[in-house]
Amino acid sequence: MADTTGTKMKRRLTKRKSSLFARGESMVWLTGAALVVSIAMILGLLGIVLVRGSKTFWPQELKSIQLVDGRSLMGELTRTEEYKPERHVFESLREGDREAARKLVSGNRGRSTRYLWRTGNRSPTRREGFTEVSDFHIKSETFPEWAVTIERSEWGRFYGEPVAFLIGDEKAATDPAAAWALFEKHHDDATELWEEAAQLEEDEVGGLDALFEEQRLRAKSVELEHGKDSPQHANALETFAAFEASQGAERTRLRAVIEKMRAEAGMYSLAMRTSDGVEEQVRLVDITRAYAANRLGFTQKIGIYIARWWEFLTAAPREANLEGGVWPAILGTIVLTMFMTLLVVPFGVLGALYLREYAKQGTLVSLVRIAVNNLAGVPSIVFGIFGLGFFCYAIGGSIDQVFFQESLPNPTFGKGAIIWASLTLALLTLPVVIVATEEALSAVPNSMREGSYACGASKWQTIRRIVLPRAMPGVMTGMILAIARGAGEVAPIMLVGAAKMAPDLPVDAAFPFFHPTRGFMHLGFHIYDVGFQSNNAKAAEPLVFTTTLLLIGIVLLLNLVAILIRARLRRAYLEGG
């Protein structure tokens, strides 16, 4: 019994003296805490983007504020912050107002509240659309019943009160209610007629311009082939001159029809009085959306919120990308990512198959693997420079010299285009696919290969029927990682095709439907352009968060599709087989 008791005491002492690291409890807590911190950081970032991005399009009430210096402002409150004002801030106030401001600040423990108002009403002579005001500058605040927010096709938002509705130079209404009723009656018809004129110009006049350019290039091609003084070139010039003469009358007719439609649509305007008492006229065709901000119910606000989101998702950008939508950027991002995936996955899988299944393992193969792993750490801008020099200038320039010489010096392939951007991103993400595919191939048991060989299958039959199907979930993992990285890259595509504005989409309804030589817009580049290249940074800040939220959503959607395909393949080949 004594021996048993002594043994138990020794075990207890040994247990007390053993290190926590030996049993692993501290590492469990450490790794768990690291996971929690990582998840909290990710959720915090997504939360900030979600909150600030989702509230961008919510319609706000319009407040009119009277300042102590006699000025009046009207606009939307965009930001509020507390700060500690310096002494010199009060010097610009009158003596009585100065004392009141100091008392207000002293009563708030030496701090003041600063407001950033979006006052809009930008014009060629007035560039700033935001005004910063402290609480001690404000004398009074009101919410005018007929304060109206107007979203214009140019120069951003306009704030004011309607005073008249004009048809030509005649006033059809001279009070806010009647003017607003006439605006709602005529706005849709006027904008529809204006858009029809724009569509007619784009389709008909643009079609004539395309035919004109085709005939000109044909004449230039004959000149390059037969010489400038050849009879063939003379005949081509005569044909071109005859075509130009025949199309001149049609072009003149179309221009007259378009001008008539625009004159009819542009005769309606709304006279607005701004907060400083100045009356300005706004044409109905320049108004994309207008609403009486202080007369809206909750349902009406929901309708405007949804309409703004719909415009953002389906319309083209305008006003230096600060207004309108991002549909070309959405389409460019999706097409670029999908085309990149179609390029990188076959090459990555073939490379991994050779390294794992065919190449003789040795020093050379090890060096290749090291090179592939190191390639994943090369800065993305280096890939962009390589793509510009090799794809755009070398390959694209050579194609132009051989097949499109008549178009020079205007390049066809020898410029930034979506095909070269896709190839550049494919090179960028190739190491990811190769490494993931190799790991998936190595996870397939050798016994399955040996069983296939024993049944008389060749090496390729074994790879195609046994190895690849069971490695497909791992290949899909590599594809998911490639999509996640490629969709968010900005630096390389800035050099090989991404544009601030690309009116011609890389995919449209015209044959051949996919146009690889066109430039494109990209959501990542759009965020960079709006956030850091805009001349109106305050107006751009909300759009940065909204576009970021959209880009995250698209990447998640693409990844979700790939994850679902991977899960289906795993069920089919691993769990079921």
**How does pLDDT run across 86-119, given as a tens digit for each residue?**
877 777 777 777 777 777 877 787 888 888 888 8
Helix locations, 55-133, DSSP H: 95-107
Residue 334: CB atoms within 10 A of its CB come to 16
Write the DSSP string, 232-284: HHHHHHHHHHHHHHHHHHHHHHHHHHHHHHHHHHTTEEEEEE-TTS-EEEEEG
Q: Is the peptide bond before 409 cis (omega within 30 degrees of 0)?
A: yes
Helix locations, 326-417, DSSP H: 327-353, 363-375, 380-386, 397-403
Residue 551: CB atoms within 10 A of its CB come to 22
Q: What pLDDT score was predicted for residue 4? A: 59
Helix (H, G, I), strand (E, B) or coil at 302: helix
* Residues whose CB is less than 8 angstroms from the CB of residue 475 and which lie 6 or more positions away in sequence, other chains included: 345, 349, 433, 436, 437, 440, 468
pLDDT in tens, 254-298: 999 999 999 999 999 999 999 888 899 999 999 999 999 999 999
Identify the bridge partners of residue 283 per DSSP, sorted by sequence position. 269
Q: To which H or E segment does residue 206 belong? A: helix 206-226
Lowest mean pLDDT across 4-18, 94-108, 205-219 = 4-18
Lowest mean pLDDT across 234-248, 343-357, 548-562 = 234-248
Q: What pLDDT score was predicted for residue 14? A: 54
Residue 221 clears pLDDT 90, i.e. is over it: no
State if pTM tops 0.75. yes
pLDDT band at 11 (very low <50, low <70, confident <90, very high): low
| Alpha-carbon 287 to chain mean position | 24
Put residue 508 in one of left, alpha, beta given phi > 0 → left and psi -120 to 50 → alpha.
Answer: beta
Query: Of 457, 484, 475, 479, whose CA–CA distance to 352 is shortest?
Result: 475
The whole-angstrom separation of Cα 525 and Cα 380 is 14
Range among 106-120, 344-358, 494-508 with highest mean pLDDT value: 344-358
Question: Stretch 524-532: mean pLDDT, rounded?
Answer: 88
Q: What is the CA radius of gyration of the chain?
A: 33
Write the DSSP string, 415-441: S--HHHHHHHHHHHHHHHHHHHHHHHH
Strands 138-142 and 148-152: unpaired
Question: Stretch 362-382: mean pLDDT, rounded?
Answer: 87
**The listed CATH number (2.60.40.10, 1.10.3720.10, 1.10.1040.10, 3.30.1360.120) that belongs to domain 327-575:** 1.10.3720.10
**Average model confidence (pLDDT) across the chain:** 86
Specify whether the CB–CB gap between 386 and 430 falls below 8 A: no
pLDDT in tens, 47-93: 998 888 888 899 999 999 998 888 899 999 888 888 888 877 777 77
The whole-angstrom separation of Cα 551 and Cα 524 is 7
Q: 238 or 302, which is more confident?
A: 302
Specify whether the CB–CB gap between 456 and 425 falls below 8 A: no
Angle formed by the axes of helices 176-200 and 231-265, to 10°?
170
Between vectors from CA 7 to CA 5 and to CA 10, what angle results, nearest 5°? 110
pLDDT band at 574 (very low <50, low <70, confident <90, very high): low
pLDDT band at 542 (very low <50, low <70, confident <90, very high): confident
Residue 491 clears pLDDT 80, i.e. is over it: yes
Q: 254 or 511, which is more confident?
A: 254
Helix (H, G, I), strand (E, B) or coil at 80: strand
Query: Of 335, 339, 497, 353, whose CA–CA distance to 426 is shortest?
Result: 339
The whole-angstrom separation of Cα 478 and Cα 432 is 6
Question: Stretch 497-510: mean pLDDT, rounded?
Answer: 82
* Residues whose CB is less than 8 angstroms from the CB of residue 269 and which lie 6 or more positions away in sequence, other chains included: 165, 166, 281, 282, 283, 284
And the tokens for 350? Answer: 């073939």
Long-range CB contacts (within 8 A, 24+) of 91-94: 93/68, 93/69, 93/136, 93/137, 94/68, 94/69
Specify whether the CB–CB gap between 499 and 520 falls below 8 A: yes
Q: What pLDDT score was predicted for residue 575? A: 60
Q: What pLDDT score was predicted for residue 196? A: 93
Q: What pLDDT score was predicted for residue 111? A: 86
| Alpha-carbon 523 to chain mean position | 2
* Residues whose CB is less than 8 angstroms from the CB of residue 137 and which lie 6 or more positions away in sequence, other chains included: 67, 68, 69, 93, 101
| Residue 365 CB-density burial (10 A; 0-12 exposed, 13-18 middle, 19+ buried) | middle
SS3 content of the chain, % helix, strand, coil (to 5): 65, 15, 20
Sign of the CA dihedral running 447, 450, 451, 452: positive
The whole-angstrom separation of Cα 347 and Cα 455 is 30
